[in-house]
Amino acid sequence: MAGSEERFRFQLPAGIRSPGRSARAAALVGGAYAVEVVICITALRWGYAIVGSGGALWAIVSAVVVLQPGVRQSLLVASQRILANLIGACVGFVWTGLLGAGSWQTPLGVVAVVAICQALRLEQSLRAACVALLIVTTTGDGNLASTSLSRFLAVLVGSAVALGVQSLIDTLAQGWLARLAGSPESSTPAEAAATPREND
């Protein structure tokens, strides 16, 4: 049960940590993540369908990856993911433009991406940057610049949507938790015994 409480940034108020209320509180904070994911997926699918642009899949993947236990952690992951994809997309664009794409160019491009990430101390972003490079250099309609820009914008949009949705759900969940903590049922037997009775 403690793991469920630590899954999110906010802490459960003391009034709802009793055994009688912990299940309901855990369900609330645990369900918040599912709600965030569903809202992000739906919003991104509808948004990309309305705009008629490609890249919805990468935007959705970015949103799900960015969502973390708290808004601050999600912001950190989002910034790292955006920077990693910028590095991978730029290296893929420049590398392929200069040397072309082939059996030996792509591995050398990966080496270049790893070297750049290590030089910038972005070891946590290595995988995302390498994936971005591979996507840019091996997929698309032949327009390397368009593929690179589409990939980067999808990551940017997905990350922004995830942060916005999480901030909203986090605020709402905090309100519900505060109400749950303030309800008369939330007091433990020990707290109830310690509370003076008006008729005594």
Task: Provide the domain limits for residue 30.
Answer: 17-182
Range 23-43 burial, b when 16+ CB lie within 10 A, else e: eebbebbeebbeebbebbbeb
Residue pair 177/12 in contact (Cβ under 8 Å)? The answer is yes
Is 3 inside a domain boundary? Answer: no
Is 138 inside a domain boundary? Answer: yes
pLDDT band of residue 17 (cuts 50, 70, 90) is: very low
Q: Which of 19-23, 42-46, 49-53, 130-134 has the lowest mean pLDDT?
A: 19-23
pLDDT given for residue 101 in this prediction: 67
pLDDT above 50: residue 15 = no
pLDDT above 50: residue 123 = yes
Is 196 inside a domain boundary? Answer: no
DSSP-derived 3-state class of residue 143: coil
Is 118 inside a domain boundary? Answer: yes
Q: Which of 26-35, 98-107, 129-138, 185-194 has the lowest mean pLDDT?
A: 185-194
Is 190 inside a domain boundary? Answer: no
pLDDT given for residue 14 in this prediction: 47
Mean pLDDT of 183-188: 47
Percentage of the residues of the chain whose pLDDT score is greater than 90: 16
Is 193 inside a domain boundary? Answer: no
pLDDT band of residue 28 (cuts 50, 70, 90) is: low
Tally of domains within the chain: 1
Is 9 inside a domain boundary? Answer: no
Is 136 inside a domain boundary? Answer: yes
Burial of 105 (0-12, 13-18, 19+ CB in 10 A): middle
C-alpha separations of 34 from 57, 68, 103, 141, 157 in Å: 18, 12, 41, 35, 20
User: What's the pTM?
Assistant: 0.66
